[in-house]
Amino acid sequence: MFKEINIPKEVLNCLDRLDNAGFEAYLVGGCVRDFLLGIEPKDWDITTNARPGEIQKLFPNNVYENAFGTVGVKTESEDPKLKIIEITTYRIEGRYSDKRHPDEIKFAKTVEEDISRRDFTINAMAMKQTVNGKWQIVDPYGGRDDLKKKIIKTVGSPAERFNEDALRLVRAVRFSAELDFSVKGGSVSGWKIEKKTEEAIKKESGLLEMISKERIRDEFVKIIMSDNAKFGIEELERVGLLKHIIPELREGIGVGQNKHHIYTVWEHNLRALDYTAQKKYSLEIRLAALFHDIGKPKTKGGEGPDSTFYNHEVVGAKMAVKIMDRLHFSKNISEQVIHLVRYHLFYYNVGEVTEAGVRRFLRRVGPENVDDLIKIREADRIGSGVPKAVPYKIRHLLFMIEKVKRDPISPKMLKVDGMDIMKILGIPPGPQVGHILSVLLEEVIDNPKKNEKKFLEEEIKKLGELNLDNLKKMAEAAKEMKEEFEEEAEEEIKKKFYVK
Ligand code: ATP
Ligand code: MG
C-alpha cells in the first residue's frame, strides 16, 4: 500500500559486513518508521551487539568521538545523508535524575532491550534481512499497528518516559505534525496523540522548563518546517506546551481586529504561517509570517471595527528579538526574521509614491530583502481571510523598483566619498564628514541626476562653509526624510482605516 523505499547499498553493505563477522545488526528507529510509511528517511541508523571497538575494527574508515557508543562509518557516497552511517551498540539508559540526560549509558545484550529505551511505539522498531531476502520487523510495542492507526504513543508509562526526558513532550507534537503528508496544511492532521500519552503531556508540560533551549528549538523548527506547521502550533497550545516555548504568541488568542480582518490576531498569524508552509518557503520567512503581527495585542487601541494597532511592527520586532534570542537561533536567522517583522507593514499605492519614495523605501529595507518582504505581504494578505485583489499594486511596486534599482541609495554609491570631502575641505576625519555625506545622499536620493562628481564637489564646498551645528541639523533633517515614506504610510493607513 505504501511506496517502496530502496535501501541504499552503502547501508546494506554495513549490515552485511556486521552480519558476516558474526554480529547481529538491525536498522532501527526513525528509518524503520519512515521505510514502513513509504517516505525517504532522513538518515539510516544501525544498531548492533558489536561493541564500539569491534565496529571500528570492521570499519577502519570511521569517526568515533562520543560517549554514546555510536561509531560513524564513512562511505564513498556523494549523498550527504549517506556520507556517514551511524552504527550504535545496543544500549539501555540508566536513571535520569535531571530529566534530560541519562546518568549513565549501559550496553545491552538484545535488540529488544535497545528498543525499550526509545520514545514512541512508532520509533521503537528494528528490522533486518533474513536469509531468504525478506525483511523481518522487530516490533515489541505494536509500532506497526500504531503507524496504521496514525497514533503517537509512548513506549511504556507516558509520565515516566516524559520525566526521563521532557523533550519527548515536544517530539510527540512534532511527529503528529510532521508525519502527515496526506493532509495539506490548515488545522488538521491525520495523526493523533494517544489519550493517555496526551493526558500525561498536559499534566507534565512544565517539565519542558528543564530542557535546553537548543533541543527545544530543533524540534520546534521541525514543526515549523512541516507542511502542517499551523496544526503543529495549535497542538502545542492545546496540550499546554506553547506557553513554555513562545508564550508571546498566546497573547493574540481571542484578540479581535478591525474591519479589515475577520480573524483574531492568533488565527491570523497562524494562517500567515500556513500560507508560507504551503509555499514551502524558508524557515526565516515562515517564522517572520508567524510573528509578523505578534505586537498587535500590546498595541491595540479601542475595540471593534475601528480598533488600531499603531507601531505594532516596532513592538513586534522587539518581541521577536527576545524570542529568537531565547531559543538561541543563529544571529543570521534572527536578524532576518526581526527585519522582516519590523518592515512588513510597508505601504504602497500606485500613483501616490514617487520614485524618490521608492528609493527611500529600498534604502530602509535593503534591496536584498524586497523579495522576502513581498512574500510576507502575500502571507499577511491571504492570512487575513479577506484577500482583496491587490497583487497589481505589488507588481507596480516591483516595476518601480526595477526602474530605480541602479540609482544610488547608500553613501557607498555616491560619486564622492569621505576622502574626497576631507581633501576638498582640508579637514580631518570627524562628524563633519559624516554629516556632509548624509546631506549629499539625501539630495541624490531625491534626484539621482545630481550624482555627478563635479556637482557634488561644488556642494561639498558650500556645505563646508556651514558651522557644525547647522550642518548637523541639516543631516538630521535628511535622516528624518528617510522615514518620510514610512510616516506617509502611517498617514495613509490611518486614512484607510478611517482613523483620525
Ligand atoms: P527524524 O526523521 O527527524 O530523523 P527520528 O525518529 O529519526 O526522526 P531522531 O531524533 O533522529 O528522530 O532519533 C532517532 C531515533 O532515536 C528515534 O526514532 C527514537 O527511536 C530514538 N530517540 C531519539 N530521541 C529520543 C528521545 N529523546 N527519547 C527516546 N528515544 C529517542
Ligand atoms: Mg533520524
Q: Are residues 55 and 130 in the same domain?
A: yes
Q: Are residues 155 and 237 in the same domain?
A: yes
* CATH number of the domain residue 282 falls in: 1.10.3210
Q: Which of 260, 15, 307, 26 is nearest to 139 (CA)?
A: 26
Residue with CA nearest ligand 1 atom 9: 30
Residue 167's CATH number:
1.10.110.30
Beta-bridge partners for 462: none
Is 113 exposed, middle or buried (CB count within 10 Å of its CB: 0-12, 13-18, 19+)?
middle
pLDDT at residue number 39: 92
**Are residues 378 and 417 both part of a single domain?**
no
Cα separation, 61 vs 421, whole angstroms: 62
**Shared-domain flag, residues 107 and 197:** no
How far does the centroid of ligand 2 lie from the alpha carbon of residue 105, in Å? 20
What distance in Å separates the CA atoms of residue 45 and residue 53, rounded to the nearest whole number?
18
- Between the CA of 31 and the centroid of ligand 2 the distance, in Å, is 7
**493 in a structural domain:** no
How far is ligand 1, taken at its centre, from the CA of residue 205, in Å? 20
Which ligand 1 atom is nearest residue 222's CA? 3
**490 domain residue, yes or no:** no
Q: Does the beta carbon of 473 lie inside 6 Å of ligand 1? A: no
Q: Are residues 266 and 321 in the same domain?
A: yes
**Domain final residue pick, 118, 144, 170:** 144
Ligand nearest to the CA of 152: 1
**Ligand 2 centroid from CA 248, angstroms:** 30
Ligand 2 center to 34 CA (angstroms): 9
Residue ranges, the chain, pLDDT below 50: 1, 483-485, 487-500
Site to substitute for ligand 1 among 119, 154, 169, most atoms within 8 A of C-beta: 119
Q: Is 143 in the pocket of ligand 1 (CB under 6 A)?
A: no
Bridge partners, residue 63, by sequence: 72
Establish if 487 belongs to a structural domain.
Answer: no
Ligand 1 atom closest to 43 (CA): 4
Atom of ligand 1 nearest to the CA of 167: 27
428-456 pLDDT per residue, tens: 999 999 999 999 999 999 999 999 999 99
From its phi and psi, is residue 167 left (phi > 0), alpha (psi between -120 and 50) or beta? Answer: alpha
Give the span between the Cα atoms of 361 and 487, in whole angstroms. 11
| Residue 328, in any domain of the structure | yes
Looking at the structure, do residues 137 and 165 belong to the same domain, yes or no? no
Query: What are the DSSP calls for 121-153, one per residue?
Result: GGG--EEEE-TTSPEEEE-TT-HHHHHHHTEE-
Residue 1 in any domain: the answer is no
Ligand 2 centre distance from Cα of residue 175 (Å): 12
Q: pLDDT tens, 3-49?
A: 788 999 999 999 999 999 999 999 999 999 999 999 999 999 999 99
**Residue 164 CA: which ligand 1 atom is closest?**
28
Task: Please work out whether the CB of residue 178 comes within 6 Å of at least one atom of ligand 1.
Answer: no
Share of the chain above pLDDT 70, in %: 93
Domain that residue 186 falls in: 150-245
pLDDT at residue 385 in the model:
84
123 lines ligand 1 (CB under 6 A): yes
| Minimal-distance CA residue to ligand 1 atom 22 | 118
Do residue 268 and residue 185 come from a single domain?
Answer: no
Whether 286 and 342 share a structural domain: yes
> Hey, what's the cell of 8?
541504499
**Closest atom of ligand 1 to CA, residue 124:** 20
pLDDT at 148: 95
Domain edge (last residue) among 109, 144, 179: 144
Q: How many domains does the chain fold into?
A: 4
165 pocket-lining for ligand 1 (C-beta < 6 Å): yes
Between the CA of 123 and the centroid of ligand 1 the distance, in Å, is 7
486: in domain: no
Q: What is the 3-state secondary structure (H, E, C) of 164-177?
A: HCCHHHHHHHHHHH
Ligand 1: does its nearest atom lie under 6 Å from the Cβ of 230? no
Cβ of 442 closer than 6 Å to ligand 1, yes or no, is: no
Task: Indicate if 63 and 193 belong to the same structural domain.
Answer: no
Residues 202 and 230 in one domain: yes
Q: What confidence score (pLDDT) does residue 350 get? A: 77
Does ligand 1 lie within 6 Å of residue 118's CB atom?
yes
- Structural domain contains residue 432: yes
Looking at 214, 245, 276, the residue that finishes a domain is 245
Are residues 363 and 257 located together in one domain of the fold? yes
- Judgement on whether residues 262 and 403 belong to the same structural domain of the protein: yes
Long-range contacts of 164-168 (CB under 8 A, 24+ apart): 164/93, 164/96, 164/99, 164/102, 165/96, 165/99, 165/100, 165/119, 166/99, 166/100, 166/204, 166/207, 166/208, 166/210, 166/211, 167/100, 167/211, 167/215, 167/216, 167/219, 168/119, 168/120
Q: Does ligand 1 come within 6 angstroms of the Cβ of 29?
A: yes
Atom 26 of ligand 1, residue of closest alpha carbon = 119
Q: What is the CATH number of the domain that holds 42?
A: 3.30.460.10
